[in-house]
């Protein structure tokens, strides 16, 4: 191809990309609110509609053993036998459900292909929330918990996309007693703080105060959530969606939601551990062992070695946007002040409860303004 044609081809590709972005901006300004409304409608329906509940239970009971038509492989039977031996050292009476589907996370690995993820028998385990603000890495943490423990995690939602990638606990009722923890974003998914203390603590009460509170730098969590609302688990929001009054309102509102969700669980939880995303990322084996000890699951050092060698999991978002935000801070000064104060307030609560403080030295954007923020006592928390 001649240099002229190559230049023309490049020009046409760039033009098409720009036009595509312009069209996206024209049709997606309200996508965030519309998706939130859809999620809320779906969650209300799936938890209250008796016909739909029965359909979900029938799906769970009848077809979780054959997701997407995939038959049970011989390797899965081998994994059941190996992992059942490991779980004999776990909680009293904890057994794998040999009649349900097993997932092999690393089938092509010579050293790790024999490990599987399983359900335990129903009513074997108590409900334990894996609670986080959206965008905090909940799906990645579930992948690490499943592969390190050999037991599926569950959810109070139903995400068909991650179900097809091996998260088979996604369709199980959260109170089945057959999954290790159950994902929830609590009231944060509604994008607002409930007006009463009882409503704030409603889901904490449902889980009887038991949970793993996953905390991530709220600056990065809010960016990640914005990306999810526009681009799903691995896509991105348009660059212009991180500028302007609407973005400032979105980030300011969710800063309060992040603070209140964390504060509610820190103050009122009865049997919970705090898990810091950044520390888990830096020292996965140490913090995965802490999770396994909290859940009273045995530790298999060889399995943990396999987890670390496959650390990314199936839903990794590329780092291109992070590099861009290193050059141009997307957060206005007003949002910086709100978020810095929220971080300081939650940190103060963690110290009061004797929990490990947030690793703010690892937090991007935090205190970037270089001046003092509001006092941790300036705003009421978890009333």
Residues 6 or more apart in contact with residue 199 via CB below 8 angstroms: 187
Give one DSSP letter per residue of 358-375, joined into a string: P-GGG-TTTTTT-S----
Rg (CA), the chain: 22
Length of the chain: 383
* Cα torsion 349, 355, 361, 363: sign: negative
Summarize pLDDT for 281-290 with one digit per residue, the tens: 999 999 999 9
26-362 domain in CATH 3.40.50? yes
CA distance 144 to 138: 10
Cα dihedral: 25, 26, 27, 29 (round 10)? 60
Q: What is the DSSP letter of 275?
A: E
The lowest-confidence range among 144-153, 210-219, 356-365, 369-378 is: 369-378
Given a cut of 80, whether residue 71 has pLDDT beyond it is: no
Residue for token digits 């919970």? 272
Q: At what angle do helices 245-268 and 218-231 cross, to 10 degrees?
A: 120
pTM over 0.85? The answer is no
Summarize pLDDT for 177-209 with one digit per residue, the tens: 999 999 999 999 888 999 999 999 999 999 999
What are the extents of the domains in the chain? 26-362
């Amino acid at each position: 191809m001649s240099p002229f044609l190559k230049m023309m081809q490049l020009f046409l590709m760039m033009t098409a990309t720009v036009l595509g972005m312009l069209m996206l901006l024209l049709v997606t300004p309200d996508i965030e609110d519309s998706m939130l409304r859809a999620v809320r409608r779906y969650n209300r329906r799936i938890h209250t509609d008796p016909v739909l509940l029965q359909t979900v239970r029938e799906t769970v009971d009848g077809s979780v053993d054959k997701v997407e038509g995939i038959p049970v492989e011989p390797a899965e039977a081998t994994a059941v036998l190996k992992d059942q031996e490991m779980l004999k050292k776990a909680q009293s009476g904890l057994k794998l459900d040999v009649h349900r589907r097993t997932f092999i996370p690393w089938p092509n690995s010579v050293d790790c292909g024999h490990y599987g993820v399983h359900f335990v028998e129903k009513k074997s385990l108590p409900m334990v929330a894996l609670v986080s603000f959206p965008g905090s890495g909940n799906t990645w943490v579930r992948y690490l918990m499943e592969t390190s423990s050999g037991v599926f995690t569950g959810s109070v939602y139903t995400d068909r996309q991650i179900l097809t990638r091996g998260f088979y606990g996604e369709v199980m009722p959260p109170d089945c007693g057959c999954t290790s923890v159950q994902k929830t974003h609590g009231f944060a998914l509604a994008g607002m703080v409930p007006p009463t203390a009882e409503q704030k603590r409603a889901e904490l009460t449902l889980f009887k105060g038991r949970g793993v509170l996953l905390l991530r730098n709220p600056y990065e969590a809010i960016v990640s959530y914005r990306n999810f609302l526009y681009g799903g688990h691995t896509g991105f929001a348009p660059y212009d969606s991180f500028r302007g009054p609407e973005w400032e309102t979105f980030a300011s509102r969710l800063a309060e939601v992040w603070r209140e969700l964390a504060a509610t669980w820190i103050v009122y939880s009865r049997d919970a551990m705090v898990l810091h995303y950044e520390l888990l990322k830096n020292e996965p084996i140490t913090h995965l062992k802490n999770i396994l000890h909290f859940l009273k699951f045995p530790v298999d050092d060889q399995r943990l070695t396999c987890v670390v060698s496959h650390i990314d999991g199936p839903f990794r978002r590329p780092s291109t946007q992070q590099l861009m935000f290193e050059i141009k801070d997307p957060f206005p000064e007003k949002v910086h002040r709100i978020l810095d104060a929220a971080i300081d307030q939650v940190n103060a609560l963690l110290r009061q409860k004797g929990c490990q403080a947030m690793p703010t030295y690892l937090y991007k954007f935090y205190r970037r303004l270089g001046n003092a923020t509001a006092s941790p006592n300036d705003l009421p928390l978890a009333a």
